[in-house]
Structure formats: structure tokens, C-alpha cells
Amino acid sequence: MDNLTAKSFALRQDVLNMIYRAKTGHIGGDFSVLNIILTLYEKQMNTRPDNVSSPDRDRFILSKGHSVEALYAVLADQGFFPKSALETYSQFGSNYIGHPYNKINGIEMNSGSLGHGLSVGVGMALAGRMDKKDYRTYVVMGDGELAEGSVWEGAMAGGHYKLDNLCAVVDRNRLQISGCTEDVMSHENLAKRWESFGWNVIDVEKGWDIPSLNAAFEEAKQCKGKPSVIIAHTIKGYGVSFMENQAVWHHKVPTDEEYQLAMEELKAKEAAANE
Amino acid sequence: MNNIPNRQAICDVLLEEAKTDRDIVVLCSDSRGSASMTPFSVAYPEQFVEVGIAEQSLVSISAGLARCGKKPYCASPACFLSTRSMEQGKVDAAYSNTNVKLIGVSGGISYGALGMTHHSAQDIATMSSIPNMRVYLPSDRHQTRKLIQALLKDEKPAYIRVGRNPVEDVYEEENTPFEMDKATWIKEGTDVAIIACGEMVKPAKDAACLLEKDGISASVLDMYCVKPMDEASVVKAAEKARLVVTAEEHTFIGGMGSRVAQIVSEHCPRKVICMALPDAPTIPGKSQEVFAYYGLSGEGIAKKVKENL
Ligand SMILES: Cc1ncc(C[n+]2csc(CCOP(=O)(O)OP(=O)(O)O)c2C)c(N)n1
């Protein structure tokens, strides 16, 4: 295993600490999306603390904004703000609230209301084309989120304008608040749906595996003439066995005992990845 | 301390009524847990529709059901129901005059540190501005019960906003005064009229008690019917007083207080102070912390009254 895998388990500990301390947060979706965000910031995007205002930076939008704790953990690790800021998460007066807030360094857009990100990304990608810039725009969505009609309005526009500088990612963990996505509102033939909107579809079977994710982002970059969507088959709650694939962990807060167990497992996995 | 949130009181009434009324339909948008509607979905799966995370479709489907004789109650966070699906509320519910009851849960700043996407501090403004849309913000679980029972008897659209957390009882279970579309007089007084709705009624009542100790006599009106507003009660309360203070969990623009100020200035001019949230994202924090910060508490309201009398 590589060091990024070890890091991903270390950052999960930061997420766990934030949520346990504040007694609020969306841990399941954080753990399914974290490796996607980490791969982008470590391996793909040129976005760094010293170029946050550069017109050439790659753009990142966390459309499933409730997974902000994962984004905070990655941004702190990348140096966009001190790690100590994470301790203020959800505290009175802190800007580190439960959804992305662009008063925080490194956050492009406010989100939290699902179904906005893709169209915002279309706007950014169109601007990049107008200005003849090379930056890429990444939008990460949840699979439950795909029920919003606005997602498909954005998909239509992305396909229509053949935005090959736009890359969407679906965190396909098959769960949402009320249970399994296929019971709540099914997404049968998900890949075909995107294809029919004019998108290049890349399936990542192990959506937690950083090299596979990185390869998919590389493939997306090579695809010209249409936008790409990566359907990352992920595991909600990934990394803590008793949280994995359990709908209740969408926003359950760990008890003292669960916290200890989760921390031990994440530490063990970090150590194993470092060996 | 009461631990039943108003949203649960709504589900309880619907559960009881659905026993004999097969036309009641509850619709949710991945919101059955947050709306306390899980018991209904389990008890009456045939009368429950899940639309997924799609609030616009939620309201339009409800309107379609209503036009075919059903009595839809669609329950989703107030923030999404009152802005994202505002047009569906305007056109499919209000304009087409369908019997759609929009239940906005976790309203106002209930969601605290989740931020402005999850706050509905402008729902009174958006929903009240729609012709034929009624807007109700019940104060406690007992009043919520009576309101839903009354709404089940009519066939017009309405928007009902309730908070996420349990609120202290304002009324006694066996003795909850309620008349549809008439404000509830909690107290009659001569110095100041305090008019509140929703979760601000309890602090308003507390403020009146504090003021009484200082020899200040306050009327307290529970204006749960924000639209149609009980104008006669507003005028009556204002006429008796030297000052009118309104309190609401909403921005000061276009809320209950704005409407009170319009009525008072037209019929019996008095100074009106609108205690409300700012025209900005509220300071991050839990709802009680945020209320305290903006003076939306018993002490805060009493202080404001004393400063202005
Ligand atoms: C417009 C909108 N409706 C409802 C919600 C409430 N909500 C927050 S998370 C969530 C479930 C999201 O499911 P999914 O997109 O699959 O995310 P994940 O399972 O990856 O956490 C819902 C309904 C919201 N944030 N925005």
C-alpha cells in the first residue's frame, strides 16, 4: 500500500474527532468520499494554498456539502488553514460550519442544498473555455443527490456544451438518509443515463482505492469533446467496519465506546498501510 | 420538560386520522426521519409516497394527488420547501388551488451550525407573498395538534412551519385555546403588546412575566396564523398599548413583524419594534446560542421593551 492510503486513515481520525467533539456531522458520507477528495488534492488538482486566487487554479465543488468534514480534513492537511481550526468545527461563532462556507480559505462555493454543484461547475467550465484557460473543474455529488432534477439540467448543459474540462464524480455508496438509494428512488442503468446526456462514463469498481481513482481522473483528462463522469462505487462509512454500509451512520454521532473502537480500527489501518 | 417536537405532534394527528380517512397521503423527500414521519410510513405504506431528494417534484406530485381527491401532507425541511419548491407551491398548490398541505420541518434556524442552506429565515416572506397560500407557525405541540385537526377539515393549500427541537409547552394539554385563524390571547395588558409566532411565543410569554415584576403590563398574542393574520387582534392589542414589539424566528424583512407594522401604522399608529434575525447569514451556532446572541429570549425581549417604553 502507498502512503496516501495511510494518510486517508489518518484524516479519517481527524473527521472522527471533529464529529465526536461537536456531537454533529455526517460521518458515513465523509468516509465514502474522503479518498476521492484526497486523490484530487494530492494527485490531480493544481490548487494549493499559495494560488487560491489564481485564475488558473483547478476548481473543486463539493456538491454533497454535508460531507464537509472530509473536505476540512483534507484542506487542513494541504495547509489551507491550520489543523487547530478543526477544533472549532460547529462551535458557536466558527466559520467551520456543517457545510462548505467560502469564508474559509480554499473553499470555492457554498453548498449544502443538494443538486446545485453540477450546474455551478458547468458555469466554471464555460468560463474557463471563454478565457482560454487550462484549468479543470471537479464536482463531487452523492448518489441520493442525483434525484434532484437540477442535476440533470446541469448534465444536459455539460453534454450540450461538450465540456471536456469538466469532470463530475458520483459517490455511489448506494445509501442515503432513508436507506438504500434503490429503494428510495432508484438509479437503474446509471451509466447509460449519463451516456445518454452526452457524457463519457468511467466506472471505478473500488471507489476507495486511490490508484484506481487516480487512473480514472487521468482517463477523464484524456477524453476530448465531452465531459466525463466518474461513478465511484464506494462504501459508506469506509474504514470503520461497524459503520460500513449502514444507513444509520449517515449522521449518527458515535458514543464514547464507538468512538474508541472506531479510533482503534483507523489507527490499526493507518499503521498497516505504513508497513 | 416536554420532549415531543411539534413535527411529531403532526405525525401523531395524521396517524390517528388516517385510520378512518384513506385519502390522507404523506409525501417525503428522503425526509421521513427529519419530519418524524417514519411511524406513518410504517403504519400506512399505501398512503405514503417517497419521492427521493426532489423537493420540486414533491410539491407537484402532491398537487396532482390533491386534484384527484387525495389529502396530501408533504413534509420536508422548511428551507427547501419554501425556496427551492417555492414555484411549485405558488403554481401547483396556491394558484391551482389544490388541497396541498406543505409541512416545513426544522424551520427557522433549527439546523443551527449547518449554515444558511439549511435555515429558513425567509419562509414567511416567500410563502406569505403567494396569493391563496396560508402560513401557520404553531407555538407548541398542543396548538400544533389543534391546527392540524382544523386543517384536515378544509381543502385549501397551506404552509405550516415547525421547528426541529421540542419546545416547552405554552399551553396545557386539556386547556389549549384555539380558534382557526384567530390569534390566541395569552395575556392582556396596557403598556406593551408583544406579538410572537412559532418558537418565539414561549420567550414572549416569559418576557411578559419578567416585565410584570417590574410593574410593566404586557399583552401577549400568539399569532400562529401569520397569514391570514388576525388583524382585529393586532389592532385591539396595539390600541391598548403604547408600544408594540414583535418576535419571530425570521429575518426582519417580510416576516410576521412587517405585516404587524403595516396593520398598526394603518389603523392605530404606535411605535413597532420588530425583533427578528438579521438580513445576513446568522452567526454560526446552535439555535439557542443564536437566539441568545440576537436577543430572541425572554430576557432579550423584556430588555427591548424597557428600552423603548
Ligand atoms: C436539496 C436538499 N434536500 C435535502 C437535503 C438533506 N440531505 C442531506 S444529506 C441527504 C442524503 C444525501 O444522500 P447522498 O447524496 O447519497 O449522500 P451520501 O449518502 O453520500 O452521504 C439529504 C436528503 C439537502 N441537504 N439538500
pLDDT average, residue stretch B297-309: 98
Same domain? For B199 and B138 the reply is no
Domain's final residue, options B96, B127, B161: B161
State how far residue B116 is from chain A, nearest Cα, in angstroms: 9
Same domain, B71 and B147: yes
Contact B31 A148 (CB under 8 A): no
Same domain, B196 and B140: no
Query: What pLDDT, in 10s, does the model give residues B36-60?
Result: 999 999 999 999 999 999 999 999 9
Q: How many angstroms separate the CA atoms of B150 and B156, rounded?
A: 12
Cβ contacts of A185 on chain B, cutoff 8 Å: 30, 50-54
Q: Give the number of the atom of ligand 1 that is nearest the alpha carbon of residue A113.
A: 26
User: Residue B143: inside a domain, yes or no?
Assistant: yes
Question: DSSP for A207-222?
Answer: TT-HHHHHHHHHHHHH
C-alpha cell recorded at residue A28: 458515513
Measure B118 CA to ligand 1 centroid, in angstroms: 12
Residue B302 included in any domain: yes
- Same domain membership, residue B101 and residue B68: yes
Q: Can you give the pTM of this predicted structure?
A: 0.97
Select from B33, B114, B286 the Cβ nearest to the Cβ of A99: B114
pLDDT level of residue A1 (50, 70, 90 thresholds): very low
Provide the CATH number for the domain around residue B38.
3.40.50.970
Q: Do B132 and B254 fall into the same domain?
A: no
Determine the CATH number of domain A3-231+256-274: 3.40.50.970
pLDDT value for A27: 98
For residue range A7-26, list pLDDT tens digits in order: 999 999 999 999 999 999 99
Total count of domains within chain B: 2
Whether B149 and B234 map to the same domain: the answer is: no
Regarding whether B206 and B128 lie in a shared domain, the answer is no
Q: Residues B157, B188: one domain? A: no
Mutation to probe ligand 1, out of A35, A36, A172, A177 (largest number of atoms < 8 A from CB): A177
Domain hosting residue B296, numbered range: 184-308
Model pLDDT for residues B220-238, shown as the tens digit of each residue: 999 999 999 999 999 999 9
pLDDT digits (tens, 9 = 90+) for A178-197: 999 999 999 989 999 999 99
Q: Give the residue, by CA position, lying nearest to ligand 1 atom 19.
A: A176
Distance between CA B285 and CA A219 in Å, rounded? 43
Any atom of ligand 1 within 6 Å of the Cβ of A30? no
Mutate to test the interface with B, among A113, A150, A171, A175 (most CBs of B within 10 A): A113
B23/B142 same-domain check: yes
Count, residues in chain A: 275
Residue of A177, A249, A250 best to disrupt the B interface, most CBs of B under 10 A: A177
B53-87 b/e (C-beta count within 10 Å ≥ 16 → b): bbbbbbbbbbbebbeeebbbbbbbbbbbbbbbbbe
Q: How many CA atoms lie within 13 A of B116 on its CB side?
A: 17
Q: Which numbered atom of ligand 1 lies nearest the CA of A67?
A: 21
Are B147 and B188 members of one domain? no
Is B39 contained in some domain?
yes
Asked whether this complex has an ipTM greater than 0.85, the answer is yes
The three grid cell numbers given for residue A186, joined into one nine-digit string: 432508484
pLDDT-derived band at A2 (thresholds 50, 70, 90) equals low
Of ligand 1's atoms, which has the minimum distance to the CA of residue A145? 15
Do the domain assignments include residue B130?
yes
Task: Give the integer Cα–Cα distance in Å for A133 and A55.
Answer: 8
Q: Are B57 and B200 within one domain?
A: no
In a domain, B1, yes or no: no
> Chain A: nearest CA to B38, how far in angstroms?
9
| DSSP code for B90 | I
Looking at residue B275, which CATH number applies to its domain? 3.40.50.920
For residue A145, how far is its CA from the centre of ligand 1 (angstroms)? Answer: 6
Q: Give residue-wise pLDDT tens across range B165-187.
A: 999 999 999 999 999 999 999 99
Instruction: Please indicate whether, in this complex, the C-beta atoms of B118 and A148 are within 8 angstroms of each other.
Output: no
For residue B120, the 8-state DSSP code is B
Q: Which residue of A has its CA nearest to B55?
A: A148
Shared domain for B149 and B200, answered yes or no, is: no
- Section B113-137 average pLDDT: 98
Could you give the C-alpha distances from A182 to A143, A172, A245, B40, B58, in angstroms and in order?
Answer: 10, 11, 14, 21, 18
Domain end marker among B146, B161, B176 = B161
